[in-house]
């Protein structure tokens, strides 16, 4: 299998954990990737997104228990 490096910004990667339009495509890319690359600010942006969703009670995990 050829190496597949996938770059996600935080708005795309959050779809791996929160069911919304594009979740299935992101999950497929993650499953196929040999390496997932994020920007340096992705982690704080993801944490911020998850906290906001939690506050708004809109979190519907695509991968339950993997937040």
pLDDT for 67:
47
Rounded distance, CA 3 to CA 17, Å? Answer: 24
| pLDDT range class, residue 23, cuts 50, 70, 90 | very high
| Residue 7 dihedral angles phi and psi, to the nearest 5° | -105, 130
Residues 30/63, Cβ–Cβ less than 8 Å: no
| pLDDT range class, residue 53, cuts 50, 70, 90 | confident
59 contact partners, CB below 8 Å, separation of at least 6: 18, 50, 53, 67
């Amino acid at each position: 299998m050829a190496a597949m490096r996938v770059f996600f910004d935080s708005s795309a990667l959050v779809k791996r954990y929160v069911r919304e339009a594009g979740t299935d495509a992101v999950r497929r890319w993650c499953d196929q990737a040999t390496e997932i690359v994020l920007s340096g600010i992705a982690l704080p942006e993801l944490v911020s997104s998850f906290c906001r969703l939690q506050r708004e009670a809109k979190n519907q995990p695509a991968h339950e228990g993997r937040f």
